[in-house]
Amino acid sequence: MEYLQDLNKNQREAVIHENGPCLVIAGAGSGKTRVLTYRIAHLINSDVDPFSILALTFTNKAAKEMKDRIEKIVGTEARSLWMGTFHSIFARILRSEGYKLGYPPNFVIYDTQDSKSLIKSIVKELNLDPKIYKENFVYNRISNAKNRLISYIDYANNPILQEEDASALRPRISEIYKIYVNRCFKSHAMDFDDLLFNTNILFSEHIDVLNKYQQLFQHVLIDEFQDTNYCQYLITKKLAAVHRNIFVVGDDAQSIYAFRGAEIRNILKFEDDFDELKTVKLEQNYRSTKTIVKAANSVIDKNKSKISKEVWTDNEEGELISLKQSFSDNDEGKMVSNLIFEEKNKNQLTNSNFAVLYRTNSQSRSIEESLRRIGLKYKVYGGLSFYQRKEVKDLLAYLRFSINQNDEQSFRRIINYPRRGIGQTSVDKIITSSNKEQKSLWDIISNPNKYLDSRISNLITPFVDLIISFKNFSKNNDAYSSASHIASNSGLLKELWDDRSVEGISRYENVQELLNSIKEYIDNEENKEKGLDNFLQEISLMTDQDQEDKNDEEFISLMTIHMAKGLEFQVVFIVGVEEDLFPSQMMISSREDLEEERRLFYVAITRAMKKLYITYSKTRYRYGLLKDCEKSRFVKEISPIYIDGEVRNTNKSFVRNVIKERSKNLSPLKKVSSKGISFKSSSVSDLEIGLKVRHPNFGIGEILELDMKNNQNKAIVKFKSVGEKTLLLNFAKLKIIK
């Protein structure tokens, strides 16, 4: 058992735990995966039949990695483990036992799109308004009910749920739920939620089956226990009821998935179900510096609903957390990009050492644009790059078609979105007619009576009128006014707003962020032409560059904090740490919600190994308006001894003046110096080694090195105030001092 030598005292205590329930509270970076892996290996080495061990994870990747590690310790016996995700394990049981519920062994598993497509069909069959009964909303409603073990019968008889649906003007969701369940059953199909829901029914109604698996599974182990929902915990509790050997690993401080149904109460109240519980706390952090660990502790201590623990580390003290202020989200993007560039050169780091974390997907836009401009490769994880997101492309397609009515791809994209009864068959007829008559698409649809049948003609005419109105409006208005008008009057904004699911809200925010970027474009005095066609030209150049080199793994990681859970990076940037953004305005209605937001901030902090930057903006475009922003309360909750509070341009009167000037559509911020006086930079071609230069923030310095190869245009400058700095000259402005 040499593997035990790799463990600290608490890890070893958890691994060699003999029998009975055990709760392992694993702080961030404390070796949770290692403990779970070694625990299973130790059980097998202690002559426990691997076939009697059930290990449940949340991802297939985690299950595979753990099984591979276990196999390296104990050999091929590890292959007999019941190890996988909740869904995969319960699907396996249902394949064998589902006939008791009326399902054949080869039942079909519907993915999310299959489920939404079926719901869409049911809504149509019931002659309900698809704009009200959106498949996303209905699907999420049904999914949440199943995760709480509410059947369609219980749903229909629950006055609270019925009142909620009636208030949302969707009183027939219970009817859709019933039809949906029956149609799935008739098709011998289960959706993802059914894999849990039906397993619970199987164990509740068929005690013989429950007893069979209770006897089989002598040990039940659960990873990321804080992320379990009500249904998942109830099933596993039933399975462990006989042998009582349930071993769960998690961290209440990293419970951040309440919106998916995760119940933090499962971990907080675990001892209520198992009074003979043994609790082991893994408090030594192996990931981060002392500064980062202590800062994270000072934040999470503010939560009232928590399990007491004190995470610590033997790692180096490390640098203070850098708190950086910018003036706008665009300025924030430029600042972050420049800091990454400097960190790379100063510490010989690669792109993969960096992560930029944000609260919402829409925040990636300014970061992406700035990284592209200075040639740093990045990858957006957990979603598409900003300009590749469907809702963004949908609005851009409307804007493009309003300018160019011969754009076939844009036409195909928007002709029936939002729905106006023009199906693919009709679109194909229009395009066929265009090719046959050798006329443009616009010629065909603007003269429908001449080229199309009466049914299509009647449907297409309102669309043509709409596009003509957009075209005329855009001729006489700037890009922002035009885009806002088109977004509203096309029905696109309402379509997204009416979908109040988590995904729908995110899509709405992304469209608003695109509109914000257009407002910034017209507010920038450098952009002399303010028309919609000019903006589209600029954005097309931007999106053309938005292509990843699939063979290059060296990317800066951009992701939401939710996506970052379980990951670690040398240098982490948490951006947009402002009130109403983080914590989210939608998540501060209760103490429980606020505490979840704080746990999310804790997760973000603890992704950093060596260096952490926290950035916030003094102003941010929201719904097309430049609004003042306030530093997040979470920043204020970090003990100030762990923060380098140096921020840019803290003079209050200067900040007010900048905001005032920007609201008047005057010069962008980068043309204003730190002292509020004009700063005209010298031409890059005039710079030479040895010249004295002035930087708007760093003051006077001397150029030590210049690199003008490959269009990098970078310089190393030694400043009197801050020492040597590596600057990207396409971004940093230098003025030669004569």
- Positions marked catalytic: 32-33, 223-224, 254, 607
Where on the phi/psi map is residue 278: left (φ > 0), alpha (ψ -120 to 50), or beta?
beta
β-pairing, 82-85 with 378-380?
unpaired
Within its chain, how far is the Cα of 259 from the centroid? 13
- Dig out the tokens for 689 from the structure: 């080694």
C-beta separation of 178 from 142 below 8 A = no
How far lies 566's CA from each of 62, 224, 603, in Å? 10, 10, 9
β-pairing, 692-695 with 22-26?
unpaired
C-beta separation of 636 from 645 below 8 A = no
C-beta separation of 670 from 335 below 8 A = no
Residue positions counted in the chain: 738
C-beta separation of 206 from 103 below 8 A = no
Return d(Cα 636, Cα 324) in angstroms, integer: 13
Side chain identity, residue 694? R
- Dig out the tokens for 75 from the structure: 């050999």
C-beta separation of 3 from 73 below 8 A = yes
SS3 call for 706: strand
Return d(Cα 576, Cα 565) in angstroms, integer: 18
Return d(Cα 51, Cα 49) in angstroms, integer: 5
Return d(Cα 645, Cα 640) in angstroms, integer: 8
- Dig out the tokens for 153 from the structure: 């019968």
Burial class (CB in 10 A: 0-12, 13-18, 19+), 659: middle
C-beta separation of 173 from 180 below 8 A = no
C-beta separation of 564 from 347 below 8 A = no
Return d(Cα 494, Cα 486) in angstroms, integer: 12
Element (H, E) at 573: strand 569-574
Q: Using the 8-state DSSP alphabet, how is residue 683 labeled?
A: P
Q: Using the 8-state DSSP alphabet, how is residue 675 labeled?
A: T
Return d(Cα 308, Cα 606) in angstroms, integer: 18
Burial class (CB in 10 A: 0-12, 13-18, 19+), 207: exposed
How far lies 590's CA from each of 585, 587, 594, 719, in Å? 11, 8, 6, 49
